[in-house]
Amino acid sequence: MSPKSKYTSRSQNNSKAWMILAILGVLVLLTILGIRLFSNESDVLEVGKTPKDFVLTTFSGETINTQDLRGKVVLINFWASWCTTCDEEGELLEAAWRFYQRNNPDQVAFLGVAYADTQPASMAFIENYGLTYPNGPDLQNQISRIYQVGGVPETYILDETGEVTAIKIGTFMSLEEITTVINTALD
Amino acid sequence: MRPIKNAFFEGSWFWKLLVACFLSSLVLGVISKQIFAQASTPSDDAVNQIASQLYCPTCENITLDDCTTQSCRQMRALIREQLAEGLTEQEIKDYFVAQYGEKVLGEPPARGLNWVLYVLPPLAFLIGMAALVLWLRQKPPDGIEPPPPQNTDDPYLKQVEQDLKKLT
């Protein structure tokens, strides 16, 4: 083999090696992206599981950590001012909240989480429907991501240990429906 | 007691002038307020210019300016309100990121693993181009057969070479 052909052959081999390296590089980048995507998708949240704790900063500036609510049954309601059925549900939840404030004030906590809403609209909603239980925005979707919220309204009931005892996708239709899920968690 | 009389205050021209001044300042105030209010109301274009860079947090791949849902209308109203308050485009975008996360941005910031999104497409293009160049260099032109490998041990060729040398 002549020196020229040897040179050409070596240069072609180098090019192929670089090509393989570059393709491997792209594959590594795609793998990193894939791992990142899959790691974001945690297990499906269902009854019996304990979701991560979160901190809710209410519209009135109060900070509530769900870790501090251990020992209480916690109702977490995701709502939005643009949601067409959240208004009726808000009134029912307010009635339930007042009921438990009278009867089990130290055993039940309510948290309202405004999902993908604007603060002025959320605050107007709270004022319109006279909601007195703590409500706050879902900043950067951190809370809805933990609860894997797909839409509003959605409500989760946690027992004294922080375990999910009931999930309501959609609107509560009556006060009884709300008190039943809370009383079941209290028992 | 006799009231004090002052020609200056008693003159009807003074009171007329005072009332005229008061009324004109009132009218001017109302007009300027209206003009100022009109000037401080941001236009739809100004709102949409920012809305087009933000994505609806509850929909799939729809920018706020194209979105017709109630939540998007509220968000556009909020942008208008913030513009009227004098917030800059960047401040409004920062507010939306703080509220809804980086996913609302049309262009994710090139930091963390996001840089892969910016690097991967041009890298894949360059690799594709390099592969094409390599392939074209290796492939013989159409219609031309590649030369057969030279066999230097062929006795016939050796004989031809020797005969050619004799001739020269």
> What CATH number has the domain bearing residue A111?
3.40.30.10
- Chain B closest-CA separation from residue A162 CA (Å): 26
User: Are residues A3 and A39 located together in one domain of the fold?
Assistant: yes
User: Are residues A106 and A150 located together in one domain of the fold?
Assistant: yes
Q: Does A26 touch chain B (CB under 8 A)?
A: yes
**A26/B123 Cβ within 8 A:** yes
Q: Is residue A63 within 8 Å of residue A55, measured between CB atoms?
A: yes
Residue A172 lies in a domain: yes
Q: pLDDT tens, A69-106?
A: 999 999 999 999 999 999 999 999 999 999 999 999 99
B8 vs A30, residue with greater confidence: A30
User: Are residues A12 and A81 located together in one domain of the fold?
Assistant: no
For B70, which residue in chain A has the nearest alpha carbon?
A82
Give the per-residue pLDDT at B123: 84
Lowest mean pLDDT among B12-16, B72-76, B82-86: B12-16
Q: Which of A18, A36, A82 minimises the CB distance to B70? A: A82
Closest residue by Cα to residue A97 from A85, A112, A82? A112
Pairing of β A108-114 and β A73-79 = parallel
User: Are residues A33 and A83 located together in one domain of the fold?
Assistant: no
Number of domains in chain A: 2
User: Are residues A152 and A78 located together in one domain of the fold?
Assistant: yes
What's the pTM value of the predicted model, to 2 decimals? Answer: 0.69
A5 pLDDT more than 60: no
Residue A36 lies in a domain: yes
B6 pLDDT more than 80: no
- How large is the ipTM? 0.76
User: Are residues A88 and A115 located together in one domain of the fold?
Assistant: yes
User: Are residues A122 and A151 located together in one domain of the fold?
Assistant: yes
Residue A48 lies in a domain: no
B5 pLDDT more than 70: no
Give the per-residue pLDDT at B131: 83
Q: pLDDT tens, B97-111?
A: 999 999 899 887 777
- Chain A closest-CA separation from residue B105 CA (Å): 12
Look up the domain containing A134 and give its range: 55-186
Residue A118 lies in a domain: yes
Residue A18 lies in a domain: yes
**B120/A29 Cβ within 8 A:** yes
User: Are residues A119 and A164 located together in one domain of the fold?
Assistant: yes
Total CB pairs under 8 A between chain A and B:
66
Give the per-residue pLDDT at B135: 82
User: Are residues A92 and A33 located together in one domain of the fold?
Assistant: no
A50 pLDDT more than 60: yes
A128 pLDDT more than 60: yes
DSSP state of B148: P
Residue A20: pLDDT band (50, 70, 90) is confident
For A13, which residue in chain B has the nearest alpha carbon?
B134
Q: How many CA atoms lie within 13 A of A135 on its CB side?
A: 26
User: Are residues A13 and A91 located together in one domain of the fold?
Assistant: no
Chain B residues near residue A116 by CB distance under 8 angstroms: 57-58, 71, 100
Mean pLDDT score, B55-60: 90
Task: Please classify residue B127 by burial: count the beta carbons closer than 10 Å to its beta carbon, then call 0-12 exposed, 13-18 middle and 19+ buried.
Answer: middle
B37 pLDDT more than 90: no
User: Are residues A74 and A36 located together in one domain of the fold?
Assistant: no
From the candidates B92, B99, B133, B150, which should be mutated to test the interface with A, based on the most A CB atoms within 10 A?
B99
